[in-house]
Every structure is written in structure tokens, then in C-alpha cells.
Amino acid sequence: MSVIETQNLSRVYQDGDSEIHAVDKIDLSVEAGEFTAIIGPSGSGKTTLLNLIGGLDNPTSGTVTVEGKPIHQLKDNELINFRLQHIGFVFQAYNLIPVLSARENVEFIMLLQGQSKQERESRAKELLQAVGLEQQMHKRPSELSGGQQQRVAVARALASKPSFVLADEPTANLDSKSTEDLLDIMHKLNKEEGITFLFSTHDQRVIDRAERLIYVEDGKIKSDEKQ
């Protein structure tokens, strides 16, 4: 079953008198349980494609369907709620809240969902244990290494029990060991819990672990291969 489906998806930006086709008529289907990487040179449209799939940007034309829902048709408040319930995000910059502890950062999305304090605390502890940070759950982001912060971000992305996780260059700021540790964790979650991961990446270490590679250039899919 497809969790993500795009048809004839395009995003065009105006640059003075010229048009930039950041995403150009892309048809894409991602099945539940995939561990897939979107790759390609800088400026190829990888991040724009991920943002369109995640509802962080609006298409110029075409459709984006997530879990059977045409998200390009949703009003802003409906889209915010849909993202909250269905999509987990991991960004290059971590985007943790500095004044909150690791556990509170993971809990935050569940707070927005209206879950009880007991449910939030229990799931946050379980997820931080899954990413190997149960001993650091009371530390703030500034007290954690980059690799640890990114693991908190992964735990936070999973807190809402999303349909899939979008990870935009999640290893870009990490050293080799932190990258390998993070990939081990995400791969384990993919295999054991069936969580779907879709990456945008330049990182060869992520590319080597991906089970499907979608090569994008000039806003178009040039190749799409399982490995």
C-alpha cells in the first residue's frame, strides 16, 4: 500500500523574469515500510520535493496524496493538524527547543496532540530508550552532543506515531560514528516497527544503507532503483 503518492507534481519559483522548475512533473509512489533516499546534486529539487510531500510547501500544480488524503487540497489549519497526526520530521538543524529537556522535547508533539501527561511521559521514555538516551533524558540540548541531539529529534519525530518520517539531510552535521549510530537506530526502527523513512541526502553512508535510491536532477526523477 502506498503511503505517499505524487502525480505530475511541480513547484515553480519566479526569479525575476525567469521561472525555476524546482520540481518538474514528478510521479512518485512510496510504499509502507520503505527505507528510501532521494539523492542528487545541490539544487536538484530534493528538499523541495520532501517539503511538498510533508505539506511544508504548496505545489504549483499536480497532486500529493498521503495515506489516501490529497493534502494539497487541505486548508492551512487542516494541513497543520494532518502533519501533526501523520508525518514525522527530522531536519539537518535538529530544531530542538533549547529550554526544554530531551524528554520534554520528545513530549512536546504529544502535548499538541492532547495526550495525557502519563501517556506522554511513558512514550517519551520508551523512545529515548530506543535511541540510547535514557540516561540523558533530563538534559537540555546544549548539554548534548550533535549526534545525541539528532537522536532526540528522531525520537520526537516518532512520538506522534506517524505514518512515515521525512528526514532532510539528517546526518549533515554529524561525525562518522554519530552518523553510523543514528543510521543503526533508524534502520532498526524501520525493520522492527515497520516505520517508513524517506531521506533527502548527499551522504554516501545514508545512500549505502538505503534500500531504494531515487536520483533527482533539474527537478526530475532521472532514475529509481532498488538496491
Confidence of residue 55 (pLDDT cuts 50, 70, 90): very high
Q: Give the number of other Cβ atoms within 10 Å of residue 164's Cβ.
A: 24
- Tell me, what's the pLDDT at 161? 84
**Residues 131, 137, 142, 147, Cα dihedral to 10°:** -10
What mean pLDDT do residues 23-49 have? 94
Long-range contact list for 48-54, CB < 8 A, 24+ apart?
48/11, 48/22, 48/23, 48/219, 49/9, 49/23, 49/200, 49/216, 50/166, 50/168, 50/198, 50/200, 52/6, 52/9, 52/11, 52/23, 53/4, 53/6, 53/166, 53/198, 54/83, 54/87, 54/89, 54/166
Q: Give the number of other Cβ atoms within 10 Å of residue 224's Cβ.
A: 15
Residue 6, pLDDT > 80, answer yes
Classify domain 2-226 at the CATH superfamily level. Answer: P-loop containing nucleotide triphosphate hydrolases (3.40.50.300)
What pTM was computed for the model?
A: 0.90
Domain ranges of the chain: 2-226
Contact 137, 125 (CB under 8 A): yes
Which candidate, 61, 59, 20, places its Cα nearest to that of 43?
Answer: 20
Residue 26, pLDDT > 80, answer yes
